[in-house]
Structure 1
Amino acid sequence: MSLKADLTSADLNEIRQSALGAADPLGVAADLADAARDGRLADPQDAGLALTLAAEIAESRSKLDAALRYVDGALEAYGKRDDSPAAGARALRARILFRAGRGDEAFAEIEPLRPLLTQYPDAPAYITAALAVGNRGREAETWLTEAVQEVLAERGATEPADADDAGVLFFLLQQRHRLRHALGRQHDTHDNLAERLETRLANASARAATAPAEDLVFWPRPEFDRLAKQTEVYGATWDEHRARLERELVRLAGTGRADLAVFPGSVDALTRQAGVGGDPVTGENRSAYATTLATGAARIPWPPERNGSCWCGSGLKYKKCCLPRSRS
């Protein structure tokens, strides 16, 4: 099979969600590797991401030699990068080596990543996953526990109010809690804190799913230019405004939200919402106006087709206009 040209990071995320259900997932993996090699990516820096995805697909089909070849290509593409995607690829390599029965090599690959547990929110998941494959659950529990204690010591005695306040601590607690459950451990104070934060996160997500999002109010260019004379809360420029919306839409899609749309705004309507003598750009008025828009009929569905007209009304194709803005 052959993937389309100019693959974006959004395309790669879509492939990640659908590849294992494809008729020929190994063909998808090979095509991803070819796309990275042949320059068929919209952003050449996504080569590591494409090859990591290819390695994950091959690993899922127990094609470990191919998986190792792809992940080595990913690490070569990442070069000296030391960010979370590059670290995730190294953890994947360790996992593949564990599956191949090369435990000593695998542990030598994963052990240097241990300090990243307190740095990246996704590090607890990919490091624990690699150790679990190698039957190193006890080491994983020890690493996570020590990382939790380190972050708690830095925070002081104050308990996080919610998952956002906890930051990377939440992901450490969550991963540790799940691992200990799998190992049959009895709850301790860290497990109890993990459950409290998970409950608060679930409640917040439920509220967010039903609440109108002010961040999805879209100001067409003429309206934005008028509004910009009063406030920059929606962005300093129209390009920044559209980029914010595109990133928020991509984020919401990643949480499983469907039927997404933006709601076109009008400065005159925003002003009427404030009433006589009211300030139209206060947070309270903007929120009330967003609620009004969300319950109305005017909406612009998202996403459009890649080759279709962009949702922002620029007249350009989506793939050449706002689609790349999710990475800006």
Structure 2
Amino acid sequence: MPSETLLTIDDIDAMAYPAQALDDPSPVVAELVAAVEQGRVADDETAAHAYLLSAEITERAGDLAGALAYAEKAATVPGEDGLSRACYAELLVKSGREEEGRAVFEALRPELLEDPHACSYVGEALEACGLATVAQEWLAEAARTLAERTAKGDDDFTAVDTLFAVLTERHRIREDLELPHDDLDGLYHEMEAVADAPELQGQALLYWPEAELAQVLQRWPERADIYGLDWLDHRTNVERTLAGWSSSGVIHIALIPGSMAGLLAFATAEELDPADPETHADYAEQVGETTDGVEWPPQRNAPCWCASGVKYKKCCLPRSRA
């Protein structure tokens, strides 16, 4: 099958979107599953994404057994990430198979020390199936291990980033459980204060919303060397850039949308050539200084920053790992 006929994650998202408004979303789910089983998806990542969306839609429709079956398929896709297994474990517990679900969760536990995103997908999945106490206990142990690593002064920015993510997720869960603050909550507040300090505000990145990007690339096709070949490529580049900043120790990160009208107005006011890459860079700097950005990353269950309508954890988050 020619590669150009294969469905991407964006295509899968578009196929799944109508399910939100349907009383019976089963035809949408059937279409998603058929795309995978007929070999019409671009890669394993897209296959897992389609199965996860199928599980989410099916669970929302009240069919827990069906949702579990799709989550299991996602969890067994070659090269899947921990998110698929966390969703599978969550549905196992919800289905009354707690021992099996806990075993899957246990296998994911080491990732809490390595992946800044793991604390969210493991913590939220445990919480969603009634194991919030287990989540905060695991996160506490991970936080203490990571704190010991960072105390060695090895300039391990990934460990610092992961520690802050773990502390943030643990603090959120403990507040939901109405537990009193402890020493790790205190450490979270200390790190949060550092992140909020004016001199450490972090970085902001300009991106082009889908319609604006289309205008930019139509007028200046050569700017694909900066922004990517298309909307999928652009979002992947943006997510990877932000993930790179995060892994290097930047804590406060923001996204700022650009616009063709804004770029042209800036170029006119400054008497610059709007086609010049330097003008684009200057415009991005100007927008960053004058516009409040949207904090990145969104909560995993919040709508994605790209306005797809899909949850961040199932939309642009996986792009940074592709």
What range is the shorter-chain TM-score in? 0.5 to 0.7
Residue 127 of structure 2 corresponds to residue 132 of structure 1 = yes
Q: Give distance in 1, aligned partners of 2:217 and 2:288.
A: 14
Q: Show CA shifts across 1:28-58 (max 9, x none).
A: 2222111111233344541111112111222
Q: Which residue of 1 aligns with 2:64?
A: 64
The 8 Å contact of residues 256 and 288 in structure 2, kept in 1 or not, is answered as no
The letter of the residue matching 1:100 is: S
1:243 to 219, 228, 238: 228
Deviation (angstroms), 1:164: 9.3
Q: Taking structure 1 as reference, are residues 223 and 269 closer, same or farther at Cα in structure 2, changes over 3 Å only?
A: farther
The letter of the residue matching 1:40 is: R
Q: Show CA shifts across 1:124-181 (max 9, x none).
A: 12212332344333321221011111111111178x9xx9994222221111011111
Q: Which residue of 1 aligns with 2:26?
A: 26
The 8 Å contact of residues 207 and 255 in structure 2, kept in 1 or not, is answered as no
Q: Taking structure 1 as reference, are residues 203 and 67 closer, same or farther at Cα in structure 2, changes over 3 Å only?
A: farther
Deviation (angstroms), 1:95: 0.9
Residue 184 of structure 2 corresponds to residue 190 of structure 1 = yes
The letter of the residue matching 2:85 is: R
Deviation (angstroms), 1:185: 0.9
In the TM superposition, 1:274-293 aligns within 5 A as: 286-287=281-282, 290-291=285-286
In the TM superposition, 1:165-204 aligns within 5 A as: 166-195=160-189
How many matched pairs?
263
Q: Give distance in 2, aligned partners of 1:91 and 1:243.
A: 32
Residue 104 of structure 2 corresponds to residue 109 of structure 1 = yes
Residue 15 of structure 2 corresponds to residue 7 of structure 1 = no
Q: Give distance in 2, aligned partners of 1:156 and 1:181.
A: 26
TM-score, normalisation: structure 1:
0.60
Q: Taking structure 1 as reference, are residues 260 and 18 closer, same or farther at Cα in structure 2, changes over 3 Å only?
A: farther
Q: Which residue of 1 aligns with 2:117?
A: 122
SS of the residue aligned with 2:228? helix
The 8 Å contact of residues 150 and 160 in structure 2, kept in 1 or not, is answered as no
Deviation (angstroms), 1:68: 2.0
Q: Show CA shifts across 1:200-228 (max 9, x none).
A: 76899xx999x8x5666998799898xxx
Q: Give distance in 2, aligned partners of 1:169 and 1:326.
A: 19
Q: Taking structure 1 as reference, are residues 248 and 203 closer, same or farther at Cα in structure 2, changes over 3 Å only?
A: farther
The 8 Å contact of residues 270 and 286 in structure 1, kept in 2 or not, is answered as no
Gaps of 5+ in 2: 243-252, 291-305, 307-318
1:261 to 221, 244, 259: 259
Q: Give distance in 1, aligned partners of 2:169 and 2:138.
A: 11
The letter of the residue matching 2:48 is: G
Deviation (angstroms), 1:8: 2.1
The 8 Å contact of residues 98 and 133 in structure 1, kept in 2 or not, is answered as no
Q: Which residue of 1 aligns with 2:75?
A: 75
Deviation (angstroms), 1:86: 2.7
Q: Give distance in 2, aligned partners of 1:19 and 1:203.
A: 43
The letter of the residue matching 1:141 is: Q
Q: Taking structure 1 as reference, are residues 327 and 191 closer, same or farther at Cα in structure 2, changes over 3 Å only?
A: closer
Q: Taking structure 1 as reference, are residues 326 and 154 closer, same or farther at Cα in structure 2, changes over 3 Å only?
A: closer
Larger Rg: 1
Deviation (angstroms), 1:257: 7.6
Deviation (angstroms), 1:107: 0.9
Q: Give distance in 2, aligned partners of 1:125 and 1:327.
A: 16
In the TM superposition, 1:226-237 aligns within 5 A as: none
Q: Give distance in 2, aligned partners of 1:152 and 1:70.
A: 37
Q: Give distance in 1, aligned partners of 2:229 and 2:202.
A: 18
Q: Give distance in 2, aligned partners of 1:194 and 1:50.
A: 36
Gaps of 5+ in 1: 226-237, 274-279, 296-302, 304-324
The 8 Å contact of residues 206 and 288 in structure 2, kept in 1 or not, is answered as no
Deviation (angstroms), 1:94: 1.1
SS of the residue aligned with 1:167? helix
Deviation (angstroms), 1:244: 8.5
Q: Give distance in 1, aligned partners of 2:288 and 2:81.
A: 42
Q: Which residue of 1 aligns with 2:93?
A: 98
Q: Percent identity?
A: 26
Deviation (angstroms), 1:102: 1.0
Q: Give distance in 2, aligned partners of 1:17 and 1:256.
A: 26
The 8 Å contact of residues 170 and 194 in structure 1, kept in 2 or not, is answered as yes
Q: Give distance in 1, aligned partners of 2:83 and 2:70.
A: 14
Q: Taking structure 1 as reference, are residues 220 and 39 closer, same or farther at Cα in structure 2, changes over 3 Å only?
A: closer
